[in-house]
Amino acid sequence: MLSQLFQPKLLSSLRGYSRQQFGLDLAAGLTVGVLALPLAMAFAIASGCSPSSGIWTAIVAGLLISLLGGSRVQIGGPTGAFIPIVYGIVTVHGMGQLQAATMLAGAILLLMGLSRLGQLIRFIPVTVVIGFTNGIAVVIFLAQIKDFFGLPVAQVPAEFFQRAQVLLQAAPQFDLVTTLLASGCLVFLLLYNRLTLFLPWLARIPGPLTTLVLGTLAAIVLDLPVATIGSRFGGISAELPAPALPSISLHHIGALISPAITIALLGAIESLLSARVADGQIDDQHDPNQELIAQGLANLCAPLFGGIAATGAIARTSTNIRCGGRTPIAGIVHAVVLLLIVVVAAPLAAHVPLAVLAAIVMAVALHMGDWAALRELHRYSWNYRSILLSTFILTVLFDLTIAVEIGMVLACLLFIYRIADLTRLELLTLPSSASPEISAWRLSGSLFFGAVNKIEALIQPGLAQKKVLILDLSQLFQLDTSGLEALQNLQRQLHKQGCQLLCCGVLPQPASLMQRSGFTQQLGAQWLSPDLHAALASAEQYLKQELVGIAL
């Protein structure tokens, strides 16, 4: 049983593994490892944590996700999507509580994977995914304003309106040197792909790394008076942190459940989305449940080494694929490369300006948003626009948890409305030879709790003056208990008014529910016909018997 649940892609990838593929995985791992360094530091700082926490997250979580994951090419680590969530938890509860919430989220992800719930993530509507992704991108961008402009703000609030007020009050005190350095780095990074057309050798070096090196050199050579990792955090330690459980009291657990669920949900969505995108690039199919198991274990272990929340990173995974990585070995190499960089070059990180890292994160935010979806909203239905915009606005102004919850509720309500709207009740035209005491109606679609009002029209006194009402259910593909109750009520009301209900053409699913509930016995087998033609014959026979009874 355990062997069926736990099947990392690493095991199947090593079958027939060649020296040539190892060379490609090694080159890809080196490239992604170098790329991950500035991103890990930048995401951690933007989240209100130390740069070391981001690096150790990339090392520990990245290693476990590659070792145990369900994708051959997934690269794991801290991502920009977690910035607003992590920042909010750190601001309100502190670093220890963040690590506890991350471990709780890891346990949730692990249980989701073991329970085979990986496929359920795909039921989240694309409108909700686009809405919160774009919302997160805006929140990430706005969160970098302090370091981008060098504003003298000790602590930026996590809540949107308070943050906006604090930043606006500090705006006149922006630092010109910091702003120029950050602006130059941002423009350089946004134009990086175009620069590679004129300088092809640049294409071999990740844009964020080039920006980090050039921005840091500019600050050192020109002796710019800007804030650095060293001035704010005291640098990065080259020593491996000793594993330690976060300190947390029991009365804090309740407050951390909601953030933990948010971390788990976002981590599951982003990792499986990344794996799905990667599948299309390498013509493979990931195991979503195994991927959730790996994500869960990664988020359980990373906080033990001072790390933060981690998931699959789409940008680093795509870079891995472009560089030739095709097995989890590339992801393992990426983690080892990061570890070696920390051991060898940790002291150099103290000179990295925070403005450069802010520019890198801003560029990531601009690239992660699906802005074309907002530009093309006018092409889509009102339902699509309302769900996407609601999720987007709520993510920016309030909280990702609230945004996803309301987005999902809206999506469900609008889906119910749409399905109910597809349920049709139409009057059928009977042959001229049919008795005028017979009326026939066809009910099509789905008779569920959202559409039961559709058959209330059949209880109108004018319609019940007929002696027999035939209800053709040959196009009713789904019936729930609320719909069944509506049918039972229809049968009772018609019976009180002297009208007999006759159902025909009942499909398997409605027939099964009608049988199990006892409605078939209540109605009577003689009032169930295989099709409309047989129903008309039964109705005519019933009316003849009624006439005979009256005559006698």
- pLDDT tens per residue, range 201-221: 888 788 888 899 999 999 999
Please report the pLDDT score of residue 226 as a whole number. 94
Superfamily of structural domain 424-551? STAS domain (3.30.750.24)
Share of the chain above pLDDT 90, in %: 52
Show Cβ contacts of residue 142 under 8 Å, excluding neighbours closer than 6 positions.
163
Res 168 pLDDT > 90: yes
* Least reliable range by pLDDT among 34-38, 445-449, 500-504: 34-38
Please report the pLDDT score of residue 552 as a whole number. 42
Instruction: Report d(CA 534, CA 500) in Å as an integer.
Output: 16
Contact 31, 205 (CB under 8 A): no
Average pLDDT over residues 115-123: 82
How does residue 548 score in pLDDT terms, banded at 50, 70 and 90?
low
- Strands 528-529 vs 438-447: parallel, antiparallel or unpaired: unpaired
Tokens of 260: 């933990």
3-state secondary structure of 373: helix
How does residue 137 score in pLDDT terms, banded at 50, 70 and 90?
confident
Res 488 pLDDT > 60: yes
- Strands 528-529 vs 500-504: parallel, antiparallel or unpaired: parallel
Give pLDDT tens digits for 208-264.
888 999 999 999 999 999 999 988 888 788 788 888 888 776 667 778 888 899 899
How does residue 1 score in pLDDT terms, banded at 50, 70 and 90?
very low
Half-sphere exposure of 8 (CA within 13 A, CB side): 19
Res 533 pLDDT > 90: yes
Instruction: Report d(CA 220, CA 507) in Å as an integer.
Output: 77
> Position 205: which residue type?
I
**Other beta carbons within 10 Å of 388:** 28
Res 356 pLDDT > 60: yes
Tell which wins on pLDDT, 72 or 402: 72
- Which helix H or strand E contains 360, and what residues bound it? helix 354-368
- Strands 468-479 vs 500-504: parallel, antiparallel or unpaired: parallel
Res 429 pLDDT > 50: yes
Q: Is 22 left (phi over 0), alpha (psi -120 to 50) or beta?
A: alpha
Instruction: Report d(CA 530, CA 473) in Å as an integer.
Output: 10
Per-chain mean pLDDT for the chain: 89
Res 277 pLDDT > 60: yes
3-state secondary structure of 118: helix
Please report the pLDDT score of residue 378 as a whole number. 86
Tokens of 330: 């590339």
Instruction: Report d(CA 471, CA 474) in Å as an integer.
Output: 9
Please report the pLDDT score of residue 491 as a whole number. 92
Please report the pLDDT score of residue 448 as a whole number. 93
Average pLDDT over residues 124-134: 85
In 58-130, beta strands by DSSP E: 76-77
How does residue 529 score in pLDDT terms, banded at 50, 70 and 90?
very high
User: Structural domain boundaries of the chain?
Assistant: 2-371, 424-551
Tokens of 343: 């051991």
How does residue 465 score in pLDDT terms, banded at 50, 70 and 90?
low
CA dist list (Å): 334 to 61, 66, 259, 269, 325: 11, 10, 29, 23, 11
Tokens of 369: 């948003």
- Strands 438-447 vs 424-427: parallel, antiparallel or unpaired: antiparallel
Tell which wins on pLDDT, 78 or 206: 78
